[in-house]
Amino acid sequence: MPAPADPPRHPALALPPRPKLRRGLWALPLLLSLVFVAGVLLWLRASEQADLEEQRLALVSDALSLETQASARIERETLLLKDVATRLDQRAAGAPALATLPEAQQGLHRFWISLTWLDAANRLVAQLPDGPDGARSGPGLSAHLSAPLASGGTLVARYSPGEMLRQTVPWWLARKYDVRLLDSFDAVIASTTEDRPLEGRQSWRISMAPALADGYLELTARDVVPRWYHGLPVAMVAGFVALIAAITGMLRRQMHGVSRAEAAWRTEAAWRQAMEDSLTVGLRARDLDGRLVYVNRTLADMVGYEPHELVGLLPPMPYWPADSHEEIMQRHLRNMAGQAPREGYEARWRHRDGRLFDVMVFEAPLVDARGVHIGWMGSILDMTERRRLEERERRQTETMAHHGRLTMLGEVASTLAHELNQPLTAIASYNAGVMNSMLKLPSPDPVVMRALKRLGEQAAHAGAIVQRIREFLTRREPRLEPCTLNVVIEGGVALLRRELQRQQVQVVLQLDAALPVIVADAVLIEQVVINLVRNAGDALAQRPGERRIVAGSSLSADGRFVRIDVRDNGPGLGGLGIEALCAPFFSTKAEGMGMGLAICRSIIEAHHGMFDATNAPGGGALFTLTLPVNLAASELSMEDGA
């Protein structure tokens, strides 16, 4: 079965793999110690072998030398016996002759047990000492020497090999070895010790022939070469192994702890790396001399250099504009002295391609694990995009304000025209009345009549101008087209989003997704929504706590009308009705124009809709507008009803 493949790693997490060796590293000291211990044991064993060999060699050489000495001793005794035989030959035959021979007595003093004179027919002639042999023989076996007599017969000396050994073996050899004489059946003939030789000792056996036919000399070492596994060194080695095993156990635990810490560190490093790479803020760390010690990818991209090209650089930096080095250096020195403003400062940097751009820099002290201040960490925001957005927003607001002013101006002019229409008509009527009255007079003053006529003409002219202005400005028919009301509401609210955010007002949209497409002028309806939401925002400006506007859309039960509600949780309408609110120039705001709601109402009415304002059930104001789904049909129905 194929081994399951590792899940693909994110490049940010692809840190160098952990070396394999390190996993079993804790066992290395134990292994080395075991190798060392094995070496020591082998050395002990070899040393034991060497000692045994040395002892064996000494044993062999001592055995050889002892055998030589013992053989020489026996041979000398044989010569001495021959000498006795020669002397006996020279003397008169008879037993007394033997007893009087001093050499014979000396022999008996050494280790001869008895001296026997046999004639040619092997009959006893004489014997020293007199009496039975057993009296002097003592314990142990005996051996004999013989020397032929010229007179025919043999002189036989019986001796004690044990005594011979005692006299031949030097004391230091007797201390070192147990020396035994054995016959060919392993029976002990003589021994320097009463004890049986112990097991496990080295011994060497050597033949005594020809001095002692069928006799063997055996040396057994008294000292035992201690076995290599007995004794202090092995006990020490065992203690050493136990100690190393315990230390290895501790080392293993320690290394596991270190491994766990390292794994945690690696995870954290990978996370940090991923976070740093995903940041849109540039980061740079500098030491106390101002040398760059770290830059993240964002900062490197911002200035168009690779991180490794920047790290290690000292001021002036390559991204400083050439013409303001001095000023930036002053600022740099101020920052290094810890005087950088907490709220950040603006700077202008130069991209590698020569382009200048504005940045916002925030400096903070860089402190190491021991709490020592080691440099400065700066976060850098590229202001280009923000500036562009601000500029666009400013222009948009200006355009909106401009449009608003234009609309308002149109409405003002329209209202003025409406208001002036009546006085002008009244002037024209009064003028006509006065002229009629004057004509009834017998002699009307022609100058007055001309003036009145001119007055009437001017009043009519003024009325016509006003009428034309009014028609031109306000009687623009809505540009009707299919319009998705929810999109219109969303668009209107979106335009105000920043303004509302600034006012800390939350806008909730409760839009009915099943709303039909209606026929309306989307631009004008959007203006109405903007006006209502902006008014609600203004009403909430002074409110503490939550500020909320709910803009909703819904369909009437009969499906003929759609409805838009704009509700706020502000102070409410203070008892004012829709008429009062929509009255031209009615405003409670210091800088209000008082035309907004009037315009809203005229737009809604132009769409044959209805506009209303009430206090919301939970407090606050509720503005409602209703629009016919099918404007053409409603127009028809209204005309029918008219």
Question: In this complex, which beta carbon is closest to ligand ADP, that of residue 300 or of residue 536?
Answer: 536
Cβ atoms 456, 432 nearer than 8 A: yes
What is d(CA 258, CA 252) in angstroms, rounded to the nearest whole number? 10
What's the min distance (Å) between Cβ of 536 and ligand ADP? 4
Q: Tell me which amino acid residue 473 is.
A: L
In the stretch 537-576, what mask flags binding to ligand ADP with x, by CB under 6 A? --x----------------------------x-x--x---
Count of beta carbons in the 10 Å neighbourhood of residue 368: 9
Euclidean distance between CA atoms 182 and 188, whole angstroms: 5
The answer to whether 594 contacts ligand ADP (rule: CB under 6 A) is yes
Q: Does 76 bind ligand ADP (CB under 6 A)?
A: no
| Cα-Cα-Cα-Cα dihedral sign, residues 165, 169, 172, 177 | negative
Query: Does 125 participate in binding ligand ADP (rule CB under 6 A)?
Result: no
User: 280-284, long-range: CB within 8 Å, 24+ apart, which pairs?
Assistant: 281/379, 281/380, 281/381, 282/359, 282/379, 282/380, 282/381, 282/382, 283/377, 283/378, 283/379, 283/380, 284/310, 284/377, 284/378, 284/380
Which CB sits closer to ligand ADP, 107 or 404? 404
Q: What whole-number distance in Å separates Cα of residue 527 and Cα of residue 533? A: 10
The nearest distance, CB 415 to ligand ADP, in angstroms, is 12
Q: Closer CB to ligand ADP, residue 378 or residue 596?
A: 596
Q: Does residue 375 bind ligand ADP (CB under 6 A)?
A: no
| E strand or H helix that includes residue 417 | helix 384-440
3-class secondary structure, 179: strand
Cα–Cα dist 587/413, whole Å: 18
Q: At closest approach, how far in Å is the CB of 596 from ligand ADP?
A: 3
CB 147 within 8 A of CB 104: no
Rg (CA), the chain: 68
Residue 624 beta carbon to ligand ADP: minimum distance, rounded to whole angstroms:
12
C-alpha closest to that of 338 among 314, 362, 365: 365
The distance of closest approach from Cβ of residue 601 to ligand ADP in the complex, given in angstroms and rounded to an integer, is 9
* Count of residues of this chain found to bind ligand ADP when the rule CB under 6 A is applied: 18
Stretch that binds ligand ADP, among 62-70, 281-289, 452-460, 533-541 (CB under 6 A): 533-541
What are the tokens at 84?
């006795």
- Closest distance of CB 429 from ligand ADP, Å: 33
Binding string, residues 609-638; x marks residues near ligand ADP by CB under 6 A: ------------x-----------------
65 binds ligand ADP per the rule CB under 6 A:
no
Among 137, 587, 614, 637, binds ligand ADP (CB under 6 A): 587
Q: Minimum distance between the CB of residue 589 and ligand ADP, rounded to whole angstroms?
A: 4
Give residue number: closest CB to ligand ADP: 596
Q: Which is nearer to ligand ADP, 59 or 582 (CB)?
A: 582
User: Does residue number 592 form part of the binding site for ligand ADP (CB under 6 A)?
Assistant: yes
Contacting residues toward ligand ADP, per CB under 6 A:
535-536, 539, 568, 570, 573, 581, 586-589, 592-597, 621
